[in-house]
Structure 1
Amino acid sequence: MAAHRHRPLALAAAVAVALGAGAFAVTSASAAEAPLKDYELTWGIKQSYRSYVTGMAAGTFTPSGGATQADGNGAFTFSDGSGTYDSGTHAVRLGFAGSLKIASKLHGFELTLSDVRFDSGAAKITADVTSGGTTQDDVPLAEVTVTRTMTDMETRLTKEAATVLGSAGYEGAAGDPLSVTQKPAATQTPTATPTATATDSASPEPTSSTSTSASASPTSSASSSSSASPSASASASESASPSASASGTGAPARGEIADGTLGWGVKQSFRTYVVDGAAQGKITASGGATQAAGNGAFTFTDATGTYDTGADTLSASFKGAVNFKGHEANGSYGLDLTLSDLGAELDGGSGELTADVDSLGETSDDVVLADLSTGTAGLTAKDDVITLDGVTAKLTKAGAEAFGGFYAEGAELDPVGLSVALSDDAELPDGDGSDSGSDSGSGSGSDGSGSSSGTTGGAGTTGSTTGGVSGALASTGSQMPAGALGAAAAVTVAAGVGVVVAMRRRQNA
């Protein structure tokens, strides 16, 4: 283990010898801390908590001082992040501006989070918490599974967070994904190579190159989609405007559905809990259903049913099943839940999502899992296909019971997308038609391809994944956050040759 721990330094020394004394001076400088600035942190705490505050508690979130909240009661973004990258320990430490006031007169609470901090070495998010006129500094709110890209990182709420949020049930629960990204400089033009040179700069800055290769030019924007606008990306799934296609069709105004697909992720936090959380289990799609890569959303196929565009009604059922298993002990599972025979009923813009539910061997047919809202009353078709995206799904009382009380009635589930063909020769759109979403809306865990990833389990999937680290780094568990690689490159690149150092990833228990 000791040899592995010192390998990056040995590699740096080897390169220094090869390049001479000048290179050795630059490599030695890499052991110093490099300043970081202009970072943003986007985290929704936990979607079900946000729903509780603005719903049952009739409360409010009030960001200020540079903090913002995404539309649709979305995730929070804290700005003006600054700190350091320590190339000796490979730790990124950042503090962010802005505060968030959370208050409910109905339930009698008011608290403020400020001085939010992220430490990749400690793998934690902390904040100062003010409540009842008293401030506690650096309260650990969540443990973070740090990744190389520092985007969509999994979080788990701490005991302290449970106390702050007012519910012991939050201890150990999966929080919303966390992203830490650098704002691109307005005057910089992305290039294929870093701007760093072999000078002995005391204040190296991360570049904003879009290259993500593990070569001499790693940069801070390895995930360009999330670094460009975290606030916008965080609200995408929740602010999407569901709509049906609007042009005419050659099919009759009412009749039998010829084919169709339904895309739904159930709930992103639940998928994470089963596979990577406390359940340490697996998810299996079967019978015509598939799961997108990266523990993503599900697609159910071969729709049958009826439609009436004149009355704006639709009744469809879909083939396929998905099974969630977890909490294994001596070959038995404490969690064994199967959803099958999914159905969607719509009438004038609202409706229900149903499924047959088998939990630990007990089956209930046609359980109404969620209330649906399309946001538009009309059902129209284009090229003999009715398509609805971003349909809001909220958990019913029966649905809450189906999940064993894991989520409360009214909790927002992943949005639903469906496409149904009205004639045999109509072509369904590629993909599942769903906005697979996430609790915070900041990432779905899906690659959007609609392809099956097979069975997921343990620490990840048996199929391909779409983020984080691949290849040798993934197999060793060693990673360097890409957000700090620009700073590292600035102090380790000499004569066109870079030393890529890896951060030893925090291991989950």
Structure 2
Amino acid sequence: MSATATRARRRPVMFAAAVATATALGAAALATAPGAAAASVPLTGYELSWGIKESYRNYVTGPYTKGTFTDTDGASQADGNGVFTFTDGQGTYDSTNHTLHLAFKGTLVAESPVHGFKRVLSDFQYDSATGVLTADLTADDGPTQQDVPFAKVAAPAGSDMSGLDTTLTTEAGAFLGSPSYAGAAGDPLSVVKKQGTTSPSPSPSESETTSPEPTSSPEPTSSPTSPASPSESETGNPSSPKPSDSASQSAKPTASTSPSASTAPAPSKGDIADGRLTWGVKESFRGYVVGPVAKGLITASDGASQASGNGAFTFADATGTYDTEAGTLSAAFKGSVNFTGHQGEGEGGGYGLDLTLDNVRAALDGGSGKLTADVTSLGEKSPNVVLADLKGASIKLTAKNDVITVNDVTATLTEAGAKAFGGFYDKGAALDPVNLSVALTKGAELPSGNGTSGGGSGTGGTGTSGGTGGTGGIGGTGSTTGGTGSTTGGIGGSMAATGSNVPVGALGAAAAATVAAGAGVLYALRRRRDTQA
């Protein structure tokens, strides 16, 4: 049954009871009668405005996806790839609890022949009592799933239902093609009464003269994270529903228990003798590169290594300076990491994704700092790109056995970093945390761990290595060989593992391409070489 037919069937049932009540009791009864009779006042003429998520809109209509949004049945989109409006909102107002439930007309289709996906959203319904926005969802040619929780909506302040914060659900992440969307902040949502509309009730109701005041429903809680990702934040932080993001699975360095070979403590400032930095860039991106869509390869070289199971990267042989009294540290690390994927057909076909990070540097001052690297995308190099803002747990740098160790440093994507990643991550997106340790003397022993076990390069292939290592982007629930959650069969494995109610069959491998926006696909990284050829 089509979404329109379903909506037509559902709404008369809902409103019939309200109309019958209004007719039997009259306006005075509605205003004064206690109990259930006073709790159901029919509403009409409302509009819902919501953009889903700006980065997703930009991805769909971008120069590489070349997709479109089509709005019909009462839906419309603002100019400049703006927000969507759904009209003719009808429902009921509970005058006892001051809550409302509204259903809106409008169908939205996001489609890209290039990336082979089609997503249909219709029958949006907002319930202020639960703080949930639902929709009917159809992925590609699969069956329509009705009343799927799509976003959690912050409680309105009195009768003002404009600019409400939203958080995308796990189901939304699965439908849009990326588990990292689960828990990510969506665009603000507004519900307004269109001027000049009248109540469908046969008798006028004074309750319709002013907008009802929904009670403050509990603030929406973060949606469950993807199995292996504490995340995105996705608030979106990897352990809460963040815009996604997922935390690194690398082992945390522990302070060395062996005494330093140095016979005298290091001075409070000087040159760094050695050191290493461990960083996974972004777990969902690593999973995407080696997954069933990109079918790519990750190669660590020139002093860098990667932990087994498609884990985090370690950059070694640090040089630089430190000052423990001032709380400053500046270190450069050796090593290069290359991500390739989306190889063209035919012998010697090029890659649509070819990204290299090297000359990684970290600077801290009073607990805050920057992570910088040289970025090469499709052969074009951009030096000294500040990829992330860093924030440590302490403003102090303390040396133990002539070694400074700083773990779990929060890394947040900068504007320059977002551009380096093709604009498919928003500025402020959570990246994997950074662990670093530097030796202040030549005899000092760096802590073991740092997630470097295995080393070498992480290979991709068909994306059948499921595992519990992380969300794995669109490739699955993880990329550790073995374990749980094999992604054989495309994105279906990934979606099932997120706990989504959207059927696996409806989310074929083509759907995986939509993760480019929020999950961090770099497939669309500026193909300047192609355009210049």
Shorter-chain TM-score tier: 0.3 to 0.5
Instruction: Give me the TM-score of the superposition, normalised by structure 2.
Output: 0.45
Whose relative contact order is higher, 1 or 2, with alpha carbons under 8 Å and at least 6 apart?
1
| TM-score in terms of structure 1 length | 0.47
* Larger-gyration structure (1/2): 2
